[in-house]
Chain A
Amino acid sequence: EDQVTQSPEALRLQEGESSSLNCSYTVSGLRGLFWYRQDPGKGPEFLFTLYSAGEEKEKERLKATLTKKESFLHITAPKPEDSATYLCAVQFGSSNTGKLIFGQGTTLQVKP
């Protein structure tokens, strides 16, 4: 079954304490892996797209990496404003639909 699993479900960090969020996927024919950030009461905000194993993208304190089975979102020296739910999603298969399959998300809380 095509599946996207994120871990941990929740993560509490102290400001400045670096960590990583995991997104593992079991799909056939990955066409793209996406990371989004979602703040309470808002729609998901796009962060990164990764297309092939070995690819890396960076933005401020965030760095996303991709292997053939999983993606990591590394957060370096986080600040309280990084607190949010981080969502991973994949596009896959040979069909002509671009629908995304989402993981359940990791809720990050960064304490000052």
Chain B
Amino acid sequence: GAGVSQSPSNKVTEKGKDVELRCDPISGHTALYWYRQSLGQGLEFLIYFQGNSAPDKSGLPSDRFSAERTGGSVSTLTIQRTQQEDSAVYLCASSFSGTAGTQYFGPGTRLLVL
């Protein structure tokens, strides 16, 4: 079956612009995660959605970052007023269970802020 898909695969933007990154999870997966991978650094948790529960936003680095998940499926990560330090690979993952399930990752969106 289809895996996690993300779009765009690459995004180049200018400092100060807003960007939207999209994630389509594996069908039937109730949990969805966003992570960030900066050059030379490990994966950093950003936000987690599980069904209709309130999302865990504890990893969002600033109020410029927000995410939503519509209809329990597709998710959009929005970065407002982008800064150069936002340049990274943004990875989405999904799992059957939010508390103990194996997470399957998408290919990522490579964001470059000039």
Contacts and interface: CB of A to CB of B under 8 A. Distances in A.
A95 B59 CA distance: 14
A109 interface: no
B45 A43 contact: no
B65 interface: no
A95 B4 CA distance: 25
A101 interface: yes
B91 A43 contact: yes
Nearest to B106: A43
Nearest to A51: B100
A84 to B, nearest CB: 14
Contacts of B56: 95, 97, 99
Contacts, number: 70
A9 to B, nearest CB: 10
B48 A99 contact: yes
Nearest to A45: B105
Interface string B94-105: 010111111111
Given A97-B56, A98-B100, A102-B44, 7 more contacts: A42-B108, A46-B103, A96-B98, A96-B99, A97-B98, A98-B33, A98-B50
A43 B105 contact: yes
A89 to B, nearest CB: 7
A45 B99 CA distance: 19
B107 A43 contact: yes
B42 A102 contact: yes
Interface in A31-71: 31-32, 34, 36, 42-46, 49
B31 interface: yes
A97 B45 CA distance: 11
Nearest to B47: A99
Interface in B38-53: 41-45, 48, 50, 53
A62 to B, nearest CB: 16
Contacts of B97: 98
Contacts of B45: 99-101
